[in-house]
């Protein structure tokens, strides 16, 4: 690409060509007048000769000026194209970066907004250019945090739909020749997915530690339970007293219940397998509900489960679907905390070659003003320490990853989450 300098301008303009043609024009005009004088072949007085020389000079000057002006005009278009090419290349480079780039003037009016900013934040370039930055994004201004340099930090911003984004923000201030701020540049990188993965990893590590502990406890409890169960069976065989038989049977039932809890703990402590396998959605629902029934939070909860019997198996990652159902049921349990008669309904059925699972509760419902935020990462209405705000966002991510959907419908007294899974995943 040609450089925009005076030297390159003269070179591209072919200065020697322009100079040579100018002399040629000069020679042609003077030659024409000489031929005219020679052709007339008559003595001319001094006054006529002065007019002739004057008109020759004027005509030569006008011809040269016209020629130079025309040449400059022709080459002007070429150098305007060079300038446009520079600008277009600048825009193409910034539009093809993966980070959102926003440039503002010294008074914080947006002058540039690249494609990645549109993809990340939702606003189109033509809708925001010319607006003040704080009219579009609720974020600190570079003049406040980096008035003469560069500043990097992480923060939450809201996009055009009101969804919270966790971004890494780099602010840069560009100064003019007098050292005054001329433009501000904001470079944003979306860290939402990374933050989710990091939180999931930390949670998985904690669950892995809990799983190892649960497996050890289950092993230590399992052996004594086996011995106690054997003794109870011997006592049942050695007595014929119906009252004692009834009491021993009750003891055996409670031992079986403890054994079931221990078995569920062992199953829960197994490492999650990422492999796709043929699985039954109904069995996964039964396993999740079976585990939660032993949870103290579910002691007074009534589970109403109606599962369609002939639901076909699907190919999916069983632990992921299990995690989704467990998250939804736990959210329903938390929603009914404090209710006199908490009821959770779980249904499964087929619809339009899809498998549908619904989880409903009779809690107070989801307030209208936060319904569109419930699937956002880290959004939670629970108290600090009671939830990470990732349950629904992770569940939504898992289901969309296999072509499924997760929808919520809520009215006061009833909230329903609906899972839709294609039969062939």
- Residue 14 clears pLDDT 60, i.e. is over it: no
37-46, 250-259, 317-326, range with the lowest pLDDT: 37-46
Q: Please determine, for residue 392, whether its predicted confidence score (pLDDT) is greater than 60.
A: yes
Contacts of 256 (CB under 8 A, 6+ apart): none
Q: In CATH, what number does 100-190 get?
A: 3.30.450.20
pLDDT at 153 over 70: yes
| pLDDT grade for 2, boundaries at 50, 70 and 90 | very low
Q: What percent of the chain has pLDDT over 90?
A: 6
Residue 146 — pLDDT band, cuts 50, 70, 90?
low
Residues 254-283, mean pLDDT to the nearest whole number: 70
The pLDDT of residue 1 is 41
Instruction: Give yes or no for a contact between 288 and 325, defined as CB atoms under 8 angstroms apart.
Output: yes
What does the chain come to in residues? 425
Evaluate if residue 105 carries a pLDDT over 80. Answer: yes
What pLDDT was estimated at residue 373?
65
Instruction: Check residue 358 and give its pLDDT.
Output: 94
> How does residue 12 score in pLDDT terms, banded at 50, 70 and 90?
low
Res 360: pLDDT = 92
pTM exceeds 0.85, yes or no: no
pLDDT of residue 3: 47
Over residues 378-401, mean pLDDT: 63
Structure-model confidence comparison of residues 69 and 406, the more confident one: 406
What is the model's pLDDT at position 364? Answer: 84
Tell the residue number behind the tokens 């926003």, with chain if given: 102
Three-state DSSP class for 51? helix
CB neighbours of residue 421 within 10 Å: 21
Specify the pLDDT at position 203. Answer: 61
Residue 276 has pLDDT above 60, yes or no: yes
pLDDT at res. 400: 79
Buried b (16+ CB within 10 A) or exposed e, 117-148: bbebbebeeeebeeeebeebbebbbbbeebee
Nearest to 355 by CA among 402, 289, 291, 414: 402
In this prediction, residue 231 has a pLDDT band, given cuts at 50, 70 and 90, of: confident
For residue 392, which of 351, 352, 307, 334 has the smallest C-alpha distance?
A: 334
Mean pLDDT across the stretch 175-204? 78
Mean pLDDT of 134-161: 78
User: In terms of CATH architecture, what is 279-425?
Assistant: 2-Layer Sandwich (3.30)
Quote the percentage of the chain above a pLDDT of 70: 66
User: What value does the mean pLDDT take over residues 65-85?
Assistant: 68
Tell me what pLDDT residue 379 has: 54
Q: Which two tokens stand for residue 18?
A: 């322009």
CA–CA dist 218, 205 (Å, integer) = 20
What tens digit of pLDDT does each residue of 321-377 get?
A: 888 898 888 888 888 887 888 899 999 999 888 899 999 998 888 877 666 667 665
Domain ranges of the chain: 6-95, 100-190, 193-271, 279-425
Q: What is the dihedral of CA 67, 68, 69, 71, to 10 degrees?
A: 90
Instruction: Considering only residues 118 and 65, tell me which one the structure prediction assigns the higher pLDDT.
Output: 118
Q: 193-271: which CATH architecture? A: Orthogonal Bundle (1.10)
- Token pair 């005219």: residue: 36
Mean pLDDT (the chain, rounded): 76
Q: Average of pLDDT values for 221-240? A: 81
Dig out the tokens for 316 from the structure.
Answer: 């999916």
Sheet holding 110-113, edge to edge: 110-113, 100-105, 181-190, 164-175, 150-158
Are both 193-271 and 279-425 of the same fold?
no
Q: Which CA distances in Å does 318 have to 11, 206, 265, 276? A: 71, 21, 17, 7
């Amino acid at each position: 690409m040609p450089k925009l300098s005076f030297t390159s301008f003269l070179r591209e303009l072919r200065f020697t060509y322009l100079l040579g043609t100018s002399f040629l024009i000069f020679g042609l005009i003077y030659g024409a007048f000489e031929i005219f004088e020679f052709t007339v072949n008559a003595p001319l007085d001094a006054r006529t000769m002065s007019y002739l020389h004057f008109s020759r000079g004027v005509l030569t000057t006008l011809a040269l000026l016209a020629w130079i002006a025309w040449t400059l005009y022709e080459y002007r278009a070429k150098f305007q194209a060079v300038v446009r090419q520079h600008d277009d290349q600048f825009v193409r480079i910034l539009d093809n970066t993966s980070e959102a780039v926003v440039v503002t003037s010294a008074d914080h009016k947006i002058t540039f907004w690249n494609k990645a900013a549109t993809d990340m934040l939702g606003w189109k370039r033509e809708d925001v250019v010319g607006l003040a930055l704080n009219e579009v994004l609720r974020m600190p201004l570079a003049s406040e945090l980096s008035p003469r340099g560069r500043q990097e930090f992480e923060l939450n911003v809201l996009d055009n739909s009101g969804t919270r984004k966790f971004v890494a923000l780099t602010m840069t201030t560009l100064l003019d020749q007098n050292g005054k701020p001329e433009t501000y540049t904001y470079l944003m990188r979306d860290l939402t997915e990374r933050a989710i993965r990091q939180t999931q990893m930390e949670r998985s590590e904690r669950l892995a530690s809990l799983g190892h502990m649960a497996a050890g406890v289950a092993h230590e409890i399992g052996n004594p339970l086996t011995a106690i169960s054997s003794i109870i069976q011997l006592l049942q065989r050695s007595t014929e007293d119906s009252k004692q038989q009834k009491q021993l049977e009750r003891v055996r039932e409670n031992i079986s219940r403890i054994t079931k809890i221990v078995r569920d703990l062992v199953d829960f402590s197994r490492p999650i397998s990422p492999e796709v396998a043929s699985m039954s959605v109904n069995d996964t629902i039964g396993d999740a509900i079976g585990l939660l029934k032993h949870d103290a939070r579910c002691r007074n909860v009534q589970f109403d489960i109606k599962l369609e019997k002939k639901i076909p198996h699907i190919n999916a990652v069983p632990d992921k679907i299990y995690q989704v159902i467990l998250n939804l049921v736990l959210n329903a349990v938390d929603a009914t905390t404090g209710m006199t008669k908490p009821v959770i309904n779980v249904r499964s059925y087929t619809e339009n070659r899809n498998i549908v699972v619904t989880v409903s509760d009779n809690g107070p419902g989801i307030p209208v003003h936060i319904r569109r935020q419930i699937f956002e990462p880290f959004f939670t209405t629970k108290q600090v320490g009671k939830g990470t705000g990732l349950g629904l966002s992770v569940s939504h991510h898992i289901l969309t990853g296999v072509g499924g959907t997760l929808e919520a419908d809520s009215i006061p007294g009833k909230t329903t989450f609906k899972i839709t899974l294609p039969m062939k995943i």
